[in-house]
Every structure is written in C-alpha cells, then in structure tokens.
C-alpha cells in the first residue's frame, strides 16, 4: 500500500460528511466553522482512495490548531493507522515549513491519542472539554 498526502479540495466535502455521518459519536461540523470553508487541511489517500483527513487552523501566533481528524470507518484498521501517522507527520512537516513551532490538538479517541504519543506528542492526562458557542 502506497500512501500519499495532499491538500483538501472542494470535492472532498461529500466524502468528509459521509465519514462524519458513519461514526456514531460524531456530528458534521458546520462547513464555515472549518478552516478555509472545509479545505484548510490535508487528506491521506491510497491509489486515489481517501482514508483520513485533518484540518489546520493557522493562527497569528507560532502555533497551529490541528482538529477534526476524521477517517473512513470502513477502511482497514491497520492501514488506517498508517494513514493517520502520515497525516500527523505531514501536518508537522508543513507547519515547520511555514515557520510554526507548535501544534495543538484536542482528542478523546484512545487510538488517536496513542498515535500522537507514539509520534512524540505530549498528551495531558487530565480530561478537558470542547466548549463552543454559536453566536
């Protein structure tokens, strides 16, 4: 299996909403809540088949917020794990190239947290909550 990583496009939105709908504990975020109206992130695929995506909120600090990591729940778990690894490494490399020093992410999925740890991320052991208000 050969994986490649690319920027998200307008054409990915349908795939992403299907994935969010398929994961029972997820809701599709409003498109205008996502960076660049749903195109501000990266997609990992194999032979043109999308596997996992994540969104990068670029800030005016030296930090980037990496959020809304979502994957195809039907894709083979082992290969999905490799794709998530590539996504995190790709985000890190892009952030470095853009001059950022920090990447911040929020998560509760145990497998995703383990992947972050394995790649050298600091994971706080105290739970926190996403707090959002639509104004």
Q: Check which CATH number belongs to the domain holding 61 and give it.
A: 3.40.630.30
Number of domains forming the structure of the chain: 1
Q: Is residue 134 part of a domain?
A: no
* pLDDT value at residue 117: 85
Phi–psi pair at 62, nearest 5 degrees: -95, 15
Q: Is residue 131 part of a domain?
A: no
Q: 0.95 exceeded by the pTM?
A: no
Distance CA 16, CA 31 (A): 10
Q: Is 32 left (phi over 0), alpha (psi -120 to 50) or beta?
A: alpha
- Identify the domain containing residue 33 by its residue range: 3-118
Compute the average pLDDT of residues 56-63.
Answer: 96
Q: Is residue 123 part of a domain?
A: no
Q: Is residue 128 part of a domain?
A: no
Q: Is residue 71 part of a domain?
A: yes
* pLDDT value at residue 15: 97
Q: Is 69 left (phi over 0), alpha (psi -120 to 50) or beta?
A: beta
* pLDDT value at residue 45: 95
């Amino acid at each position: 299996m050969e994986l490649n990583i690319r920027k998200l496009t307008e054409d990915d939105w349908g795939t992403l909403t299907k994935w969010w709908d398929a994961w029972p504990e997820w809701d599709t975020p409003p498109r205008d809540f996502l960076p660049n109206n749903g195109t501000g992130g990266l997609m990992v695929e194999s032979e043109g088949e999308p596997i996992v995506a994540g969104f990068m909120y670029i800030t005016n600090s030296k930090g980037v917020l990496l959020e809304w990591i979502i994957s195809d729940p039907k894709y083979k778990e082992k290969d999905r794990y490799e794709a998530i690894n590539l996504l995190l490494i790709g985000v890190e490399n892009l952030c470095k190239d853009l001059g950022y020093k920090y990447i911040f992410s929020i998560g509760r999925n145990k497998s995703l947290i383990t992947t972050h740890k394995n790649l050298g991320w600091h994971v706080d052991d105290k739970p926190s909550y996403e707090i959002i208000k639509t104004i």
